[in-house]
Structure 1
Amino acid sequence: MQLPHGAHVAVADGNRFVLFRNDGDADLINLVDAASPEVDAGNRGGAKPEPRDLDERGHAAGVAALLNKRILDNEIEKLLVIADPHTLGVMRGHYHRELEKRLVGELAKTLTNADTAQIEQAIGAA
């Protein structure tokens, strides 16, 4: 997959969230500015799942809310989301329409514990 210069990459799972920006070009990805923004995990949704699942759902919904806000504040122009399949499914249910318009792709992979080079490689191989 090619990733446009300046595109943001959100890497998430049910417990962790890291945000990068592509400082390279579409062909040579160079992720920088890794940050772990504070996520409000209060929106747990769902009806009687296990407490751990509620926490993970809340975190995924919180990540989507944070990304929605940054999109609406024009802090993110283009976005790639990388998350495990369960987290990605929860996040999709919370995407704002504007986020959907600016989404350049999604990868259903667990990469929150991967280093930057591994994430760049996964994007390039997609």
Structure 2
Amino acid sequence: MRGEAMKPRIPHNCWVLACDGGRALIMRNAGDSELLNLIVIESVANPGAPARMLGSDREGRVFQSVGGARSKVEQTDLHRQAEERFVANIAERVSGLVRNEGIQRLVLAAPPRVLGQLRTELDPHARSVISAELGKDLVNFEVADIEKYLTD
């Protein structure tokens, strides 16, 4: 497996969070580390509007108080803000599950930018049970394909 990251070991009762900026799957392994049986506990989709509906299509303009110069004002990336809010809400949800369900092990699978945000948004107790992180977007895979990917 030279050049490839080691796949995380997913023991019995280990929880897996597969997340991107718009969808999250929270799963628990009812199988063992050799034969995964991921059970979807919760599937969450970002209810936000598509980026084309989140803001205007043209940047604003600022007029200088002296002279006739104008400058373009960068438009706020509303789509990215919606993704960040979604990831923050998922982190809060997972932190609550760790506290309430007594989760001992948690594996995170998300694109690198989302992984970074999850690390900062999860509460300290939830961060302490993370057993592995996988910088891969698995959330749009079928559960059987996620199982296959994690065991191959």
**Pair in the same fold by TM > 0.5:** yes
Give the CA deviation at 1:51. 0.4
Corresponding residue for residue 62 of structure 2 = none
Backbone CA RMSD of aligned residues: 2.2
Q: Deviations over 1:47-81 (max 9, x none)?
A: x8510010011111111111111112234222111
Pairing 1:105-116 to 2, within 5 Å after superposition: 105-116=132-143
Correspondence 1:15 to 2:25: no
Q: 1:52 to 1:97 in 2, by over 3 A?
A: same
8 Å contact 1:84–1:109 — kept in the other structure? yes
Corresponding residue for residue 9 of structure 2 = 2
8 Å contact 1:23–1:32 — kept in the other structure? yes
Counterpart AA for 1:123 = L
Counterpart AA for 1:33 = V
Match of residue 68, structure 1, among 95, 98, 108: 95
Give the CA deviation at 1:121. 2.3
Q: 1:73 to 1:119 in 2, by over 3 A?
A: same
Query: Structure 1 stretches (4+) deviating beyond 3 angstroms?
Result: 37-41
Correspondence 1:32 to 2:59: no
Secondary structure (helix, strand or coil) at the match of 1:68 reads: helix
8 Å contact 2:23–2:45 — kept in the other structure? no
User: CA–CA distance in 1 between the matches of 2:114 and 2:22?
Assistant: 10
8 Å contact 1:22–1:29 — kept in the other structure? yes
Higher mean C-alpha displacement, 92-101 vs 13-22: 92-101
User: CA–CA distance in 2 between the matches of 1:24 and 1:11?
Assistant: 18
The structure with the larger Rg is 2
